[in-house]
Amino acid sequence: MPKNRAVLIDQIIKQTMRICAFSSLFFLFLIFLFILIEGLPLFYRVGVGNIIAGFKWAPTKGAFGIFPMIVSSFLVTIGALILGAPLGLACAVYLAEYAGKKKKLFLKPALELLAGIPSVVYGFLGVIYIVPLIRTYCGGSGFSLLAAAIVLGVMILPTVISISYDALMSVPRTYREGSLAMGATKWQTTYRVVIPAASSGILASFILGMGRAIGETMAVIMVAGNALRIPGSILDPLRTLTSNIALELAYASGDHRLGLFSTGVVLLIIIMILNYLANFVIRQKVIK
Amino acid sequence: MDIKIQIRQLSVSYNGTPALRSITLDIYKNCITGFMGPAGSGKSTLITLINRMIDFEEGVRYDGEIRIDGINVLDPAVDVVALRRRIGMVFAVPLPLPRSIFDNIAYGPRLKGITNMTDLYAIVEDSLKKAFLFDEVKDRLMTSAMKLSGGQQQRLCLARTLALQPDIILLDEPCSGLDPISTAKIEEALSELKKDYTIILVSNNTKQIARTSDYAAFFYMGELIEFGETPRIFTNPSQKKTEDYIQGKFG
């Protein structure tokens, strides 16, 4: 093959790859654009405060307060984190520090499968098993903050585990050896040296887990009860930002529809902040 | 001269490949014993057996005895954590933990349960002085150990080991990444330390073994070719292989 032709093919492939790579950026841009175009006008008309801090959601009557949903989204996310983060971290530590090659061989694919199960299946199992359990043993209808937190706690496990695991594995082997050679036990080495050295990555895994939890829709709709108020206890039903959009979009029109887009804008901003935080804590480490 | 460590018919294999073949060797108390030999000769494997760091490798089998003060440390019933506190180890690459100089050295004593700051400070100061590092870092004990130079980091690792109050110190090519001045400082520290400790120095650098050790052992392909007093090994080796290695004909 003549040299010029080889160079040309190389260039074409490079440019094609570049277009593919930038297309994801383009899609992201489109999503932003449409959500902002549809969602922002209502903020101007009704007022940012009336939407973000408003308590009453009655979009057909001109009330677009989503404060209870913002609170609910955060409560569910924090609940999921309380349940999922320690479990996920423990699992990652076991995988990275204790599990032998054989155990890793079936644990890792099992975790990937956990990540691949559709959220409707989680929701379904939540409705069939967790909701009745809560109803029987804790009282209330069972559709509750607690049910949503349990289901989401399991759903964020793959995110927390895989990112924490990578962080733990990237701790140089030499740190462990240095500690072990000084007569530290395996566990002393793990919690005094390895976990602190991996702390930024572990923190990032929690934040990304939060992002996963706050964005989850289907499973939450199925188990949370979707009531329009701030829950007074963990046994009360609640409605998150994502649930609000999914539940009402089918029949919304006019300002109601714009109200849902405004909900989307708030959601987008929260997710952006979480992602920025995750990147920030990861970068912290690199600079040090 | 008292014998500190007796190695008897020690054989080791990794996944079936022999790494050491029936080694028998005595390490004398309060001496520096140098282990030399080309890469893959088994000298590093031998010292990781002495403090049982080899337990973290997979697929290792060993046979034979290593007796320290008469007790076989290869016995499965031996408390390896207690063993490693008695036997300090300095690695080829300096490995300070990502924390302050003080905390690096206090790490071992804290594991032993010493929490009193006055006691800890005394141990840290004493260890740093023995490793010839105290004067260089005394004003910045609370700064990160990662900011020290390579040579300082290696002396920090030596100090960290001394803080455990071991009676044996193993050094696995401690100067392989260091400049000549840093190397000289480590060697100076070692020749002081041998008054109180039994030291095993693994090195690729035959000149370093010649300069610092009292006894020298030459390993090749998992076998102990020759062992004896250092001046004799370097002036009048009994084996052809030893002579060739010392003269740099292979390695």
CATH number, domain at A65? Answer: 1.10.3720.10
**Rounded Cα gap, residues B129 and B189, in angstroms:** 9
Answer yes or no: do B164 and A183 touch at CB < 8 A.
yes
- At B109, the amino acid letter reads P
Find the closest chain A residue to B154 by CA distance. A178
Q: Tell me if A164 is assigned to some domain.
A: yes
Give CA separation, A161 vs A79, A110, A147, B159, in Å: 17, 12, 22, 37
pLDDT above 70 (res A287): no
Contact A135, A142 (CB under 8 A): yes
Q: CB-hemisphere CA count at 13 Å for B251?
A: 15
If residue A222 lies in a helix (H) or strand (E), which one and from where to where?
A: helix A218-224
Q: What does the alpha-carbon distance between residue B185 and residue B238 come to, in Å, rounded to a whole number?
A: 32
Region B8-29: mean pLDDT is 91
How many other β-carbons are positioned within 10 Å of the β-carbon of residue B178?
20
Q: Write down the pLDDT at residue A103.
A: 87
Beta-carbon contacts below 8 Å between A and B = 60
B85 → closest Cβ in A174, A183, A288: A183
Q: How far is A108 from chain B (nearest CA, A)?
A: 20
Contacts B95 to A, Cβ<8 Å: 172, 174-175, 177-178
Paired tokens of B244? 């060739």
The answer to whether the CB atoms of B107 and A174 lie below 8 A apart is no
User: Do residues A261 and A100 touch, judged by C-beta distance below 8 A?
Assistant: no
- List, in order, residues 6 or more apart from A226 with CB less than 8 Å away: A143, A237, A238, A239, A243, A247
What residue ranges in chain B does DSSP mark as E strands?
3-14, 17-28, 32-36, 60-68, 71-72, 87-90, 168-172, 198-202, 215-220, 223-229
Interchain pair B95, A185: CB under 8 A = no
- Token pair 């932003």 in the structure block, residue: A32
**Residue A197 is which amino acid?**
A
Q: So what's the pLDDT on residue A285?
A: 59
Helix H or strand E encompassing A132: helix A131-137
The stretch B197-226 carries a mean pLDDT of 92
pLDDT tens by residue, A217-268? 999 999 999 888 899 899 999 999 999 999 998 898 888 999 999 999 999 9
Q: How far apart are CA B16 and CA B47, in angstroms?
A: 20
Residue A168: band (very low, low, confident or very high) from pLDDT cuts 50, 70, 90: very high
pTM for the complete prediction?
A: 0.82
Interface contact A107, partner B, CB < 8 A: no
Mind giving me the DSSP string for B193-234? Answer: HTTTSEEEEE-S-HHHHHHH-SEEEEEETTEEEEEEEHHHHH
Contact B95/A177, CB-based, under 8 Å? yes
Contacts of B96 in chain A (CB under 8 A): 178
Which of B53, B88, B161 lies at the smallest CB-CB distance from A180? B53
Q: Is the pLDDT of residue A288 over 50?
A: no
Domain tally, chain A: 1
Q: For residues B161 and B53, what is the distance between their CA atoms, to the nearest angstrom?
A: 15
**C-alpha to C-alpha distances, A257 to A30, A214, A225, B199, nearest whole angstrom:** 19, 21, 22, 79
Alpha-carbon distance A90 to nearest alpha carbon in chain B (angstroms)? 21
A112 touches chain B (CB under 8 A): no
DSSP code of residue A198: T
Q: Which residue of A has its CA nearest to B162?
A: A182
Q: How many CB atoms lie within 10 A of CB A116?
A: 8
SS3 B62: strand
pLDDT digits (tens, 9 = 90+) for A119-150: 999 999 999 999 999 999 998 888 999 999 99
Distance in angstroms (rounded) separating the CA atoms of residues A266 and A280: 21
Task: Give the DSSP letter of residue B71.
Answer: E
CB contact under 8 Å between B53 and A196, yes or no, is: no
Is 90 exceeded by the pLDDT of residue B40? no
Domain annotation for chain B: domains and CATH numbers = 3-246 (3.40.50.300)
State the best of B73, B91, B111 to mutate against chain A, taking most chain A CBs within 10 Å: B111
In this predicted structure, what is the pLDDT of residue A82?
96
CB atoms within 10 A of CB B212: 24
d(CA B2, CA B228): 15
Rounded to a whole number, what is the distance in Å from the CA of B84 to chain A's nearest CA?
Answer: 5
What would the two tokens of residue A285 be?
């480490």
- Name the percent of chain A lying above pLDDT 90: 60
Distance from CA of B161 to the nearest CA of A (A): 7
Digit-coded pLDDT (tens) for B127-183: 999 998 999 998 999 999 888 988 899 999 999 999 998 999 999 988 888 888 889
Of B56, B89, B111, the CB nearest to A188: B111
Task: Indicate which of A182, A186, A192, A286 best probes the interface with B, i.e. most B CBs within 10 Å of its own CB.
Answer: A182
Cα–Cα distances (Å) from B212 to B39, B203, B204, B219, B244, in that order, read 21, 11, 13, 18, 20
pLDDT > 80? residue A215: yes
CA distance A169 to A174: 12
B99 has a pLDDT exceeding 90: no
Q: Does this complex have an ipTM over 0.90?
A: no
Please tell me which residue of chain B has the smallest CA distance to A172.
B95
In this structure, is residue A185 part of a structural domain? yes
Task: Residue A134: name the closest of A224, A214, A68 by CA.
Answer: A224
Neighboring chain B residues of A288 at a CB cutoff of 8 Å: 98
Burial of A114 from C-beta contacts in 10 A (0-12 / 13-18 / 19+) = middle
What value does the mean pLDDT of chain A take? 90
User: Model confidence over A17-39: pLDDT tens digits?
Assistant: 999 999 989 999 999 999 999 98
Rounded CA separation A197/A217 (Å): 34
Q: Which of residues 162-201 of A touch B (CB under 8 A)?
A: 172, 174-175, 177-185, 188, 192-193, 196-197
Give B249 or B226, the one with higher predicted confidence: B226
Residue of A nearest to B157 (CA): A178
| Residue span of the structural domain in which A123 resides | 57-287
Residue A155, CA distances (Å) to A144, A187, A192, B97 in order: 17, 28, 29, 35
CA closest to B48 among chain A residues? A181
pLDDT in tens, A61-72: 888 999 999 999
Question: Are the beta carbons of A178 and B84 separated by less than 8 Å?
Answer: no
One-letter amino acid at B34 equals: G
A31 is a domain residue: no
Whether residues A193 and B161 touch (CB distance < 8 A) is answered with no
DSSP 8-state assignment for residue B127: H
Distances (CA, A) of A226 to A151, A169, A172, A237, B159: 15, 41, 47, 6, 62
Residue A96 counted as domain residue:
yes
